[in-house]
């Protein structure tokens, strides 16, 4: 599995505290091993065709697009704030 990070994801990640950043790292590691791991609770975001979400902790989520073997990480943070900005323009993509 190949991962890319948008500029928005990188900025949101930097704003998280160290514990939250570690939870995000663990979730991404799980995603690379098994995208269907039960603790991730991966599901398509309602009212979208291409955006998915995964849970890193109870109120800590990652949104992403998944195409073939590539996952583009779009946002991370508190559940409601993370889902709020789904209609933003696609940002520049940076490889991880």
Going along the chain from its start, the domains and CATH numbers come out as: 2-78 (3.30.2310.20)
Note the pLDDT tens digit of each residue in 31-71: 999 999 999 999 999 888 899 999 999 999 999 999 988 99
What percent of the chain is modeled with pLDDT above 90?
68
Q: What confidence score (pLDDT) does residue 94 get?
A: 46
Residue partners of 10: CB distance under 8 A and separation at least 6: 94
Q: Which residues, in sequence order, are CB contacts of 16 under 8 Å at separation 6+?
A: 24, 76, 77
pTM above 0.75, yes or no: yes
6 C-beta neighbours (distance < 10 Å), count = 21
pLDDT at 83: 67
Tell me the average pLDDT across 5-32: 97
């Amino acid at each position: 599995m190949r991962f890319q990070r948008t500029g928005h994801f990188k900025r949101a990640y930097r704003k998280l505290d160290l514990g939250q950043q570690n939870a995000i790292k663990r979730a991404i590691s799980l995603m690379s091993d098994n995208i269907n791991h039960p603790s991730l609770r991966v599901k398509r975001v309602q009212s979208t065709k291409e955006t998915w979400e995964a849970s890193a902790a109870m109120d800590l989520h990652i949104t992403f697009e998944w195409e073939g073997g590539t996952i583009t990480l779009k946002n991370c943070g508190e559940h409601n704030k993370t889902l709020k900005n789904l209609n933003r323009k696609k940002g520049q993509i940076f490889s991880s």
